[in-house]
């Protein structure tokens, strides 16, 4: 896919394009593997070379990612530091044509924003003195900051609350795009749950991410309105082997065993919807699960270190599995201590969540820490805004079901939840999700 070429920068090197991928963790059909590998490699190449294109080389703040490509950006892209995620309800008056117009307007704006440009020509200060500026202006002078904008469709696009097929899309609904079942620890608030459309804005500068959501929301007035939105201030997962593993608000490294962009075979196996999976419009796309997980951190902070590590199944400092080794050592769930008890507790998070406990299912996690002020009891309204991309929502469902006995649940409350079908990438001249309407 030539469209996945970076907008700038020669590709002098594509480091570790497939360092892990070549190990062939998963076998795949020959044809599928070839196609998938090409796509994955191009995506990684784009990510790597544009990051290395930053003038100083000191950080990724100056880099930009291609908006057009085989897959939408913001999935295997190395997780940026900041997030603004927005879920929208489509207005009652919106029809199919209006929805297409909205997606077209969003696509055009997103293509510009992701390159560090104003939302449209003229922008923040170049227009008439007697009209509100087209761009809200707070990103003037800021670089693209690695901004990616990723769009998804919620179940309501295919069938609204009253069961109506408003956009003539019901026949194209993937069977997988169903409301998630009820899980242990669910205390979902309707105002933080669901949504017909979503936009994930990730950037290394929070102002850039917020600017994008603000302007895209403004474009949608009269067609779609914000249902809920979430800021994330620190990534909790790494999606590239080039990134260090960050920590969540429990103070533990999170996402050590995450699917990484460089593992192209795994990405194809676990993240991208294959053409053979159907429906055709979802090829190259993924399913996105968003969960606002409140952490009762005040209680957690009173838990003894040993118990914290036992609940997680990893050491708090290094992040190594309690069965021994270093961070990236595979956990040995059979290993027993002197008393004959397993070194990794039977209810430890790492055991229950591990692919070996879930028929090989993994997810590409892209979550962010959040703190939204405090509650009425004086506790921080803090937690993990969990985002995962997977080839099928069943991967998330299976793993989340396994976590029913997770000892961490005592300190967690799932207050928001949503699922979206994220279509494949956009080619220049197309709008995002165009194949859905073809």
Partner 1 sequence: MTRRALAASVAVTALTALTLTGCVAKADLAQAIGVDITDDGCAVAVDTAPAGAVTFALENNGTEVNEFEILADDKLRIVGEKENVTPGQQVDFTAQLEPGTYYTACKFQQVGAPVGLAEFTVTGEASTVSSGEQELSDQAVTEYLAYVRSQTSELLPLVQEFADAYKAGDDETARSLFAAARVPYERIEPTAEAFGDLDPKIDFREVDAVADGLEWTGFHRIEKDLWAPQPGDLNSDGQDALKGWAPSTPEERTAYAEGLVADVTELHELVTDESFSVGLADISNGAIALLDEVASGKITGEEDWWSGTDLSDFAANVQGAGVAFGAVRPLAESKGDEGTELAAEIDEQFAALEAELAKYGSLEEGFVNYSELTDADKKALSDQVNALAEPLSQLTATVLGV
219/22 Cα distance (integer angstroms): 43
Q: Where in 80-119 is the site for partner 1 (CB under 8 A)?
A: 91-93
Residue (157 or 249) nearer to partner 1, CB: 157
User: Closest separation between CB of residue 121 and partner 1, Å?
Assistant: 14
132 binds partner 1 per the rule CB under 8 A: yes
Do residues 6 and 42 touch, judged by C-beta distance below 8 A? no
Convert residues 223-252 into a mask of x (bound to partner 1 by CB under 8 A) and - (unbound): x-x---------------------------
Of 131, 164, 338, 438, the residue at the interface with partner 1 (CB under 8 A) is: 131
Task: Specify the stretch interacting with partner 1 by CB under 8 A; choose among 121-129, 146-154, 200-208, 304-312.
Answer: 121-129
221 binds partner 1 per the rule CB under 8 A: yes
User: Closest separation between CB of residue 137 and partner 1, Å?
Assistant: 15
Task: Specify the stretch interacting with partner 1 by CB under 8 A; choose among 65-73, 199-207, 216-224, 399-407.
Answer: 216-224
163 binds partner 1 per the rule CB under 8 A: no
Do residues 430 and 438 touch, judged by C-beta distance below 8 A? no
User: Closest separation between CB of residue 132 and partner 1, Å?
Assistant: 5
User: Closest separation between CB of residue 96 and partner 1, Å?
Assistant: 17
350/315 Cα distance (integer angstroms): 11
6/197 Cα distance (integer angstroms): 27
Instruction: Specify the residue for token string 């100083």.
Output: 56
User: Closest separation between CB of residue 3 and partner 1, Å?
Assistant: 32
Of 168, 222, 278, 324, the residue at the interface with partner 1 (CB under 8 A) is: 222
- In a 3-state reduction of DSSP, which class is residue 28? coil
For residue 201 the two structure tokens come to: 């804005």
Residue (15 or 127) nearer to partner 1, CB: 127
Task: Specify the stretch interacting with partner 1 by CB under 8 A; choose among 20-28, 96-104, 130-138, 372-380.
Answer: 130-138
Instruction: Specify the residue for token string 């102002």.
Output: 207
Residue (131 or 377) nearer to partner 1, CB: 131
For residue 193 the two structure tokens come to: 């749950």
Task: Specify the stretch interacting with partner 1 by CB under 8 A; choose among 100-108, 215-223, 281-289, 377-385.
Answer: 215-223
Do residues 112 and 168 touch, judged by C-beta distance below 8 A? no
162 binds partner 1 per the rule CB under 8 A: no
Residue (90 or 364) nearer to partner 1, CB: 90
φ/ψ of residue 230, rounded to 5: -140, 130
For residue 210 the two structure tokens come to: 């917020």
User: Closest separation between CB of residue 194 and partner 1, Å?
Assistant: 14
114/144 Cα distance (integer angstroms): 6
231/212 Cα distance (integer angstroms): 12
Residue (225 or 356) nearer to partner 1, CB: 225
Return the percent helix, strand and coil in the chain, to nearest 5.
Answer: 30, 20, 55
Do residues 201 and 73 touch, judged by C-beta distance below 8 A? no
127 binds partner 1 per the rule CB under 8 A: yes
Give the CA dihedral 236, 392, 152, 400, nearest 10 degrees.
-40
Of 5, 122, 138, 218, the residue at the interface with partner 1 (CB under 8 A) is: 218
Of 2, 31, 56, 128, the residue at the interface with partner 1 (CB under 8 A) is: 128
Element (H, E) at 153: strand 148-153
137/353 Cα distance (integer angstroms): 43
Q: Of 424, 420, 388, 387, which is closest to residue 157 (Cα–Cα)?
A: 420
- Binding residues for partner 1, rule: CB under 8 A, are 91-93, 127-132, 218, 221-223, 225
């Amino acid at each position: 896919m030539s469209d996945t070429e970076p907008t700038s920068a020669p590709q002098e090197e594509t480091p570790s394009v497939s360092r892990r991928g070549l190990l062939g963790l998963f076998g795949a059909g020959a044809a599928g593997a070839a196609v998938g590998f090409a796509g994955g490699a191009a995506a990684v190449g784009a990510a790597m070379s544009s990051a290395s294109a930053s003038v100083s080389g000191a950080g990724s703040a100056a880099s930009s990612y291609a908006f057009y490509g085989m897959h939408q950006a913001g999935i295997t892209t190395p997780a940026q530091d900041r997030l603004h995620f927005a879920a929208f309800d489509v207005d009652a008056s919106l029809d199919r044509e209006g929805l297409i117009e909205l997606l077209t307007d969003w696509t055009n704006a997103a293509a510009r924003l992701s390159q560090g440009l104003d939302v449209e020509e003229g922008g923040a200060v170049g227009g008439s003195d007697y009209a509100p500026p087209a761009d809200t202006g707070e990103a003037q002078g800021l670089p693209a900051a690695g901004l990616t904008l990723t769009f998804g469709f919620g179940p309501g696009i295919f069938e609204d609350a009253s069961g109506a097929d408003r956009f003539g899309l019901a026949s194209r609904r993937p069977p997988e795009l169903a409301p998630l079942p009820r899980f242990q620890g669910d205390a979902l608030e309707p105002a933080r749950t669901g949504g017909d459309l979503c936009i994930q804005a990730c950037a290394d500068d929070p102002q850039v991410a917020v600017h994008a959501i603000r302007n895209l929301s403004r474009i949608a007035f009269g067609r779609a309105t914000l249902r809920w939105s979430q800021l994330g201030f620190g990534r909790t997962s790494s999606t590239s082997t080039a990134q260090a593993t960050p920590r969540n608000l429990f103070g533990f490294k999170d996402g050590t065993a995450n699917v990484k962009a460089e593992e192209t075979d795994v990405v194809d196996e676990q993240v991208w919807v294959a053409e053979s999976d159907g429906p055709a419009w979802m090829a190259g796309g993924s399913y996105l699960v968003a969960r606002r997980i409140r952490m009762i951190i005040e209680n957690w902070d009173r838990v003894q270190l040993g118990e914290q590590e036992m609940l997680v199944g990893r050491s708090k400092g290094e992040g190594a599995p309690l069965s021994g080794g270093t961070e990236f050592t595979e956990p040995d769930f059979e290993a027993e201590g002197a008393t004959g008890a397993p070194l990794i507790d039977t209810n430890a998070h790492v055991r229950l969540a591990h692919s070996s406990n879930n028929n090989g299912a993994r997810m590409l996690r892209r979550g962010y820490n959040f703190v939204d002020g405090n509650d009425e009891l004086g506790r921080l309204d803090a937690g993990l805004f969990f985002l995962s991309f997977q080839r099928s929502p069943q991967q998330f469902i299976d793993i989340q079901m396994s976590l029913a006995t997770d000892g961490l649940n005592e300190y967690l409350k799932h207050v928001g939840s949503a699922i979206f079908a994220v279509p494949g990438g956009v080619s220049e001249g197309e709008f995002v999700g165009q194949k859905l309407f073809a």
